Structure 1
Amino acid sequence: MMWGEFAVEPDAIASSFERFAGLIDRFGVDQGRLISDFATGSWSRAVLEAADASDFGELGMASALERLRELRDARGIVKAGRVYQDLPGGWLANAAAEDARQPFHAVISEAGGSGCVGDCAAINARSDRAPFKVDGFADVPRLAPDIARAAAPLLRFARVVHLVDPHVSFTQGPMRTGDWVRPLAALIRGCQPNSAVTIHLLQRPDKPDTGTFIAAARQHLRPSLTQGATVHLKRWEERVAGQQFHDRAVLTDMGGMTFGNGLDEGPQGSTVHIQRLDATGWARLLTKFNPATSPYQLADDLVL
């Protein structure tokens, strides 16, 4: 798994400014660690209250507030339908109860002892060791369920999704068309209700005309739409002597991942290498599929 949702005890991360500064910057979508908004009320507010009790000082409090805002705006602090029951025993007891209902990737507390599989004392939260470690790449079977499962932790929190592969086709005959439809349909089904999904592909002279293309796309993909989801299909043309369109990726408003062989299914036994994008790579790839900044020419923008 390249993304994990972490329950982080407010008192543990804010026990000192040094602890806070050392831990907070190791969370974020680009690092594969998302902080669960799990506390009485707001997690960020609970952290600031703990920081004030730990006497961060005026400059320390201002820095903590700014870093929490940055992480929130980058969607590194996520709401995931968690239930804080306010059980006796404080934050750790409530985290353990919620983990039993729906496991976190890890529970980070001052002394550990949550009883969770991903239990970790804050002082032992090392990026190179489980359970704090989150892999940045994986090789998964090139099959629709595995492709969708790899992207699921990212799609779970995203509101805007871009599925990118130059070779997407819905008209190459039943066998080949299914190789595209099954993964794309599985990815779309994994998106949140009311999310905005765009499929980006390359338009060449030998590709089908607009009417044939959109009719086939609607036939194969409309049954997979989640409630309220909108799907656009953008076909791009390469400019003369311009950049080639060869990226294969799942990009969202939070972060992204690349797929070495593409988003289609492959032969039995084959795998696809997937890799989490850092913040710079994610932002750069997004600009390629914005008409205002793209190196390609937008041929058409169709609604499924």
Structure 2
Amino acid sequence: MIYSYAIEPELVATWGNKADYRYFCDKFGLGQPRMMVEFPKLKNWRRQVLQSAMGSGDQEMQKVTALIGILTERMISCTPKDEYDGTRSWLENAEEEHGNAPFQAILACSNPRGISFVIPPDSVGVPGDGRWFVSDQAPPDRTHTSLRNHLQGLLSNCSEIVFVDPHFGPENPRHRRPLQAFLCALLTNRRTPLTRIEVKTGTKATYDFFEKTCIREMPKIIPVGMEVVFSRLRQRENGEKLHNRYILTDIGGVNFGVGLDEGHESETEDISLMTRKQYDLRWEQYAGSRLAFDVADAPVPVRGRLQLPKLSHL
């Protein structure tokens, strides 16, 4: 649902013509399945783009500057496994980083070593190319493995994540199994620290039962070193209905047709990437500074005890 791309600065500098600008301006960012990775650090990447674009006409430079804004407004943070080597080319650095934590693809001015994950300009948009044509919707089976696999790109690349399911119950294995899979997936190919992990649900059970069950059961499914905050929301009188299920992150959000829980093997789910308008609304309602709901009682922070790669038996 979210796919990471490293983009060569010198390539972006060539996108100031009308055709390229129109094509790429709506291919990245919130509401799109493609997200640029911050590689190298933003200030260095931006400087390289602008230096490469020097000598372009005023209109071309305006378009390049606008594309920089679109690509970097919301992007995937990256702390490279190996320090960026300024004595080597950008592409050589990116290829090495791909070996540490794979990108969906690298967009570059050329592909001198003929590497399969590098897309040069004449290969962008070739029909049927799964490196570029990625889906914003999925119909996975309602098993924790299938749900996790379809969301791996979103989970690997976010820094903040909020799970919203009004019917989540820590006592239910069908809720715990997918959550465990999601939490473990957060650590796969991670390039940047996680700063926020929350689960938000409704008030079906008593608070005493909810708190005690979270404290008893949740450490078993949360990886060691990770803290997850569980909280309960209450619908306000004449307010927004607490009903839908979402995963909201700093790089985008997804809707679930049925729920975040696990179903039977014969069941399928409909997951879709939120548009920018949907995302802005739902993030503010459930994760922002002006919630659309009342926080029913004290949140329950839980630290994990699950040793990876071994998964607990549920």
In the superposition, relative to structure 1, how do residues 12 and 295 fare at CA in structure 2: closer, same or farther (>3 Å)?
closer
* Aligned equivalent of 2:24: 23
In the superposition, relative to structure 1, how do residues 225 and 100 fare at CA in structure 2: closer, same or farther (>3 Å)?
closer
- Aligned identity (percent) is 24
Task: Return the alpha-carbon distance in structure 2 between the equivalents of residues 133 and 97 of structure 1.
Answer: 24
Give per-residue Cα distances to partners, 1:115-174, cap 9 Å, x unaligned. 232342224422965221111011112122332333332222322211011111123xxx
Secondary structure of the 2:31 match is helix
Gaps in structure 2 of 5+ consecutive residues: 188-192, 302-314
Task: Return the alpha-carbon distance in structure 1 between the equivalents of residues 113 and 298 of structure 2.
Answer: 50
TM-score by length of 2: 0.79
Q: Map of 1:70-149 to 2, 5 A cutoff?
A: 70-74=70-74, 76-79=75-78, 81=80, 83=82, 84=84, 90-100=89-99, 102-126=101-125, 129-130=128-129, 131-149=131-149
Secondary structure of the 1:43 match is helix
Kindly state the Cα deviation for residue 82 of structure 1 after the two structures are TM-superposed. 5.2
Give per-residue Cα distances to partners, 1:85-125, cap 9 Å, x unaligned. 5686x444444444455433222223445423234222442
Task: State the AA in 1 paired with 2:153.
Answer: P
Q: Is the Cα contact below 8 Å between 2:80 and 2:97 reproduced in 1? A: no
Kindly state the Cα deviation for residue 282 of structure 1 after the two structures are TM-superposed. 0.8
Task: Return the alpha-carbon distance in structure 2 between the equivalents of residues 142 and 96 of structure 1.
Answer: 35
Task: State the AA in 1 paired with 2:109.
Answer: E
Q: Map of 1:1-304 to 2, 5 A cutoff?
A: 2-18=1-17, 19=20, 22-38=23-39, 42-52=44-54, 55-57=55-57, 60-61=60-61, 64-65=64-65, 67-74=67-74, 76-79=75-78, 81=80, 83=82, 84=84, 90-100=89-99, 102-126=101-125, 129-130=128-129, 131-171=131-171, 177-191=172-186, 194-203=194-203, 207-226=204-223, 229-290=226-287, 293-304=290-301
Secondary structure of the 1:42 match is helix
Kindly state the Cα deviation for residue 209 of structure 1 after the two structures are TM-superposed. 1.6
Secondary structure of the 1:249 match is strand
Kindly state the Cα deviation for residue 262 of structure 1 after the two structures are TM-superposed. 0.7
Larger RCO (CA within 8 A; separation ≥ 6): 2
Task: State the AA in 2 paired with 1:68.
Answer: I
In the superposition, relative to structure 1, how do residues 107 and 73 fare at CA in structure 2: closer, same or farther (>3 Å)?
closer
Q: Is the Cα contact below 8 Å between 2:4 and 2:35 reproduced in 1? A: yes
Task: State the AA in 1 paired with 2:228.
Answer: V
Kindly state the Cα deviation for residue 77 of structure 1 after the two structures are TM-superposed. 4.8
Task: State the AA in 2 paired with 1:263.
Answer: L
Kindly state the Cα deviation for residue 190 of structure 1 after the two structures are TM-superposed. 3.2
Gaps in structure 1 of 5+ consecutive residues: 172-176
In the superposition, relative to structure 1, how do residues 170 and 138 fare at CA in structure 2: closer, same or farther (>3 Å)?
same
Task: Return the alpha-carbon distance in structure 1 between the equivalents of residues 292 and 99 of structure 2.
Answer: 48
Give per-residue Cα distances to partners, 1:219-247, cap 9 Å, x unaligned. 12123334554322221223345442221
Deviates further, 220-229 or 247-256: 220-229
Higher percent of residues as strand: 1
In the superposition, relative to structure 1, how do residues 17 and 292 fare at CA in structure 2: closer, same or farther (>3 Å)?
closer
